[in-house]
Amino acid sequence: MHARAVAATTTAVLGTALLFPGGARAADDTGLPVVVAHRGASAYAPENTLAAVDRAAALGIRWVENDVQRTRDGALVVIHDDSLQRTTDAEQVFPDRAPWKVKDFTAAEIARLDAGSWFGPAYAGARVPTLQQYLRRVEHNHQKLLLEIKNPELYPGIEQQTLKLLGNEGWLDSRHLASRLIVQSFSAGSVRTVHQLKPGVRTGFLGTPATADLSRYAAFTDSINPSHGSLSGGWVSAVHSLSGPHGRPLRVFAWTVDDAARARTVAGYGVDGVITNKPDVVRKALGGS
Ligand code: G3P
Ligand code: CA
């Protein structure tokens, strides 16, 4: 290795050790925990919209997280709640369609909705993106995607459908599989299905299983992604002691941390990534630039 590269690497490692004596892990080429923009940079732009993806990109954030669900006519769309009510104007546009479930609306109906005004007038007219539109924007921005399959029990076959779209859009080639895509879910069954259908895809289980149960998850998931409030250094070490289906130590991405002090605390537990609505705040707290 070139002497300057050695020096830079040494500085990065020592710097990380000093910042996080509990043992922050090098999860990206910075040597710091990866910062993931939760639903995009959702503190600054309406969650799960293309504007939130772009805002993350403008901040220099490589990883974005989203939530994928399905319309009545079978289109995959990016939205968090199973209802359109909170983040769109569905209640005004379709007053007789309570409770405005995503699964009860067609893609064309959802495309009419304003998914930005609830957040602020500057975002009036933002749309609920289809997953195809979303993937293309993330690709355009040279970003990476932590894709959450949301409420899979409502959408039979959504794992296969999501993988098919990812493949059609070029997201299952070796470059994306190696470093640009993780598929996660709160449903262990859904994560297992993704692993079985496409073993090359890196996966994540959302939750904090008991340490005694972790080895069962290691059969089908590459990371275990807990709520930050449920974390301890011992639990993170227990996760790291196991190898996932790709023969590498399981990783830990903690959510949702918007506070600088808390970000430093969870980094000190040794997490590999921090999922946040305020990626600039967390990046700064962790010593990134
Ligand atoms: O990525 C973790 C986080 O998104 C899980 O919770 O409810 O924000 O989807 P939620
Ligand atoms: Ca999510």
Count of CB atoms situated within 10 Å of the CB of 18: 9
Is 246 annotated as catalytic?
no
- Which is the closest atom of ligand 1 to the Cα of 148? 1
pLDDT-derived band at 28 (thresholds 50, 70, 90) equals low
Our answer on whether the CB atom of 274 is closer than 6 Å to any ligand 1 atom is no
| Smallest CA separation from ligand 1 atom 4, residue | 38
Is 38 annotated as catalytic?
yes
Backbone angles phi, psi at 73, to 5 degrees: -100, 20
Write the pLDDT tens digit of every residue in 102-153. Answer: 999 999 999 999 999 999 999 999 999 999 999 999 999 999 999 999 999 9
For residue 11, is pLDDT > 50? no
Q: If you measure from the C-alpha of residue 5 to the centroid of ligand 2, how many angstroms do you get, rounded to a whole number?
A: 37
What pLDDT score does 128 carry? 98
CATH of domain 2-285: 3.20.20.190
Our answer on whether the CB atom of 67 is closer than 6 Å to any ligand 1 atom is yes
Our answer on whether the CB atom of 254 is closer than 6 Å to any ligand 1 atom is no
Count of CB atoms situated within 10 Å of the CB of 262: 17
Whether 105 and 33 have beta carbons less than 8 Å apart is answered as: no
Tell me how far apart the alpha carbons of residues 4 and 6 are, in angstroms, rounded to a whole number.
5
The type of residue at 137 is: R
Read off the pTM.
0.92
Per the omega criterion (within 30 degrees of 0), is the bond before 256 cis? yes
> What are the residue boundaries of the structural domains of the chain, listed by start?
2-285
